[in-house]
Amino acid sequence: MRSLSLLSMLLMLFFSASALDNSDLLSKDSLQSDPGVKEIPEFNTDTIQQKVIAMGLPLDTKYTNIVEAYIRGYVMRNRPKSELILGKTILYFPIFEKKLKESGVPTDLKYLSVVESALDPIALSRVGAKGLWQFMPETGKYYGLDISEYIDERCDPDRSTDAAIAYLKRQYERYEDWALAIAAYNSGPGRVNKAIKRARSKNFWKIARFLPKETRNYVPAYIAAAYLMKHYDDHLLEPNYPGFDYQLTESTMVYQTLSFYTLAQITGLAMDVIRNLNPTYVEDFIPQSIKGHKVVLPSRVMSSLKDYLAVVKPDIESDYSLEGIPVYATTPEEVDQMEFYSKSIYTVGEDDNLNELAKLFRCPEHCLIAWNGLANRELVRGQDLILYQPKNVKRFSLTRENENVPEGIPGPSLKSINLARNGTIHHESAASPELNNFYFYQLKMGESLQEVILKFPNNTLKDLIKLNEINPANPPLAGATIKVRKL
């Protein structure tokens, strides 16, 4: 696909001058001398080799000196970096897995993105390859990516993954072998074809010596990345997950020009958070488009953008500064993100499953899996699940007194969510002392149990489900009346 990807630079930084020289590795004994450093399990070559061969990757998997060197780099030398990569999988692997599965391509090919970019959506190589899948501009455009002075879809996780899958499928159709397809992804089919001709073989391991060094090491690097993802816990590595503002997000379409600065004023987010969630936009603004452009924000502030868009019309200057509202380049150090999120526990019921609970709690399945360290998707009755959810939903409103409001735009009636402001409460007759402890609340259209909890903070998800005998497979609909505890 290109002559040189980010891989070369990453390897230089990640594995030092000689990937095969292990003399400078941190030993178990040296680590034990520092009480502040977590003890690293012994690197047992025989055991790791058995695990590598048994991984079930869609290619002829071998345990070579190069594979071992890469694995040592991940699990011994650069553990903090490996934990950051592991943490980023919660953002990108669900996207990759869904698209790979829908395309009929082995889902284990998602590990190529680790080799390509270390899961950095704006990673840029010295020759101009960019994004999670490291496309050169010409190749990206050929596979349908929009690359201009304002937009670079090589940085878009969804669009770039579509392009990467298309490229990989094309190479597999050419070679009918995933190892060769992966090699061609790195260096292009021309070099692979020459190596096949010189080696008189279509076996990657036999033609490898005729390939450029980077491509020769590319398949071993892929095998090592797959090992890291499948066996990191064997080496006491812990994913360093990004904050909840990155995990719990929503997207909406924007049709008019909208700057990140205005987005920061509307939502209260720092500029770097908005940039990180929207790496597609090159110049800190979303350009106007009839088709619309996607903007991603934390779920807790998405309502504020929708409120803003509801009152700002396309035929009026829409991207004006909201005077007096400060904007931060980065989130102030004194701000603890847990100020915006709450932790709760849900006890699994008789027929609960992960998919239904994710829908009920409006929480991605992969987050439930990560937060609870689930080895698989199977749940057991009585099992406690940890949930993280926004404490508040941020809203935005313009008023007539605001000098930035153009004439003719009425101020919206939307305000911050307060107790029972947007719903109907029915008080029960005092027939029983127990009943006096509850309200009856009627659900609005599209309202979730999480939003009910924001209005009645004395309740938890577990309370509402237990009090109302809610079946996660059949959550209550708009108009249904549920029981909630009084404040």
| Nearest alpha carbon to residue 379 among 347, 345, 348, 346 | 348
| pLDDT grade for 201, boundaries at 50, 70 and 90 | very high
Alpha-carbon distance of 109 to 318, in angstroms, equals 43
Three-point CA angle 124, 11, 6, nearest 5°: 20
Helix (H, G, I), strand (E, B) or coil at 33: coil
Residue 473: predicted pLDDT: 66
pLDDT above 50 for 419:
no
| pLDDT grade for 21, boundaries at 50, 70 and 90 | very low
pLDDT above 80 for 275:
yes
Is residue 359 within 8 Å of 311, Cβ to Cβ?
A: no
The average confidence (pLDDT) of the chain is 82
Is residue 39 within 8 Å of 89, Cβ to Cβ?
A: no
Q: Cα 242 to the chain's mean position, in Å?
A: 9
Residue environment code for 140-162, b if the CB has 16+ CB neighbours within 10 A, otherwise e: bbebebebeebbbbbbbbebbbb
Q: Cα 63 to the chain's mean position, in Å?
A: 31
Q: Are strands 424-427 and 285-286 parallel, antiparallel or unpaired?
A: unpaired
**Residues contacting residue 405 through CB under 8 Å, at least 6 positions apart:** 398, 399, 411
Position 187: which residue type? S
Q: Which helix (H) or strand (E) segment is 172 a member of?
A: helix 157-175
pLDDT above 80 for 52:
yes
Neighbours of 263 (CB within 10 A): 28
- What's the DSSP call for residue 376? S
Rounded percentage of the chain residues whose pLDDT exceeds 90: 56
| Nearest alpha carbon to residue 284 among 317, 262, 302, 307 | 262
| pLDDT grade for 175, boundaries at 50, 70 and 90 | very high
Alpha-carbon distance of 204 to 322, in angstroms, equals 59
Averaged pLDDT, 371-384: 88
| Nearest alpha carbon to residue 205 among 18, 59, 50 | 59
| Nearest alpha carbon to residue 186 among 143, 162, 220 | 220
Which residue numbers are catalytic? 116
| pLDDT grade for 103, boundaries at 50, 70 and 90 | very high
Is residue 252 within 8 Å of 306, Cβ to Cβ?
A: yes
| pLDDT grade for 134, boundaries at 50, 70 and 90 | very high
Is residue 155 within 8 Å of 121, Cβ to Cβ?
A: yes
Give 38's strand partners: none
